[in-house]
Each structure stands twice: as structure tokens, then as C-alpha cells.
Structure 1
């Protein structure tokens, strides 16, 4: 995994081992998933469903946003980059 970009509020854009993008914030815990979803789902929810992009949490990455393994595309990577920019600028 390699970091592409970092923000001052903890969000990072990564390339993961399969080449897809992941947006992560290790400062957040599982209780913050709802807060993140409230910020992005009204605007991006339909695209997220279409591109198989989801929000989750683990103890390594904190809250993360990525496409389901095996289902990432250029469009899902573009969406994840947009989500990173939105969260970076508005968290």
C-alpha cells in the first residue's frame, strides 16, 4: 500500500496491493462510520452502489472507503478520489 495524498484532518488516499484506491482515516473508529456516511451518501450514494464502493472500519486503517475486492474499476477509483477530496475539504 502506498500513500498518494494526505490531508490535515486525517484522510489519506492510498493505492492498495491490487492497484485500486482506498480513502482512509486512522483517527476515526467504528462509531464514526455513520458520521462519514451522512456526509457522503446524500450526494454520492447512488454512484457508490453502482460502483460497489462502501464505507467500513478495521483496526489498521480506521474508517475506509473502497470498492469491493475484485469489482474495482477506473470509475470506482475516480469516485474514491472524489470522496477523498470531499472529506479532505469538508471534515
Structure 2
């Protein structure tokens, strides 16, 4: 998924990157960047541990959805989780 996002962002900027590695583990991705093996797009949540690389904000957006069984929207547990996730995401976006 992140590889496809990186390709789209690069294409929108007018170039196609030469991908040498495909890894779904962000710690491994950042370790490769720290080892001078290229650059990467990573979500902000993947950088909480303060990696030893330079981080630059990129004006991209990621959409995330909440999924639950059809017809379960009124269930108290589902409502509580949805409310908590929205509150948490709202706090993150404002930070």
C-alpha cells in the first residue's frame, strides 16, 4: 500500500522513482534510509520513535476508514469504539 502511495506522489511530482526495496515494516524502511539506501515516504505515526533520519513534512493525505458489520452501528460497543477512534484521530490531526 505505501509503495503505491509513494509511486503516485512521485508521479504527481513529475518523475517515476527507481524502487530498490519493498518492505512493509516502517522500522526497516527507516533503517534502510539511515544506511543511505535511498529515501522513503512514511506516515507520521511511523516516526514516533524519532529515527536517525531527517524527516520533512510532505503535503499528502491519507484516508482511513472504520469498518464494522452491517447493521451494527447502533450497538453500544461499536458506537463507543467509533466515538473513541474519531476523537483520537481528531486530536492527532490537530496536533
TM-score of Structure 1 vs Structure 2, range by shorter chain: under 0.3
Q: Which has the higher contact order (CA 8 A, sep 6+)?
A: 1
Structure-1-length-normalised TM-score: 0.26
Max radius of gyration: which structure?
Answer: 2
Structure-2-length-normalised TM-score: 0.25
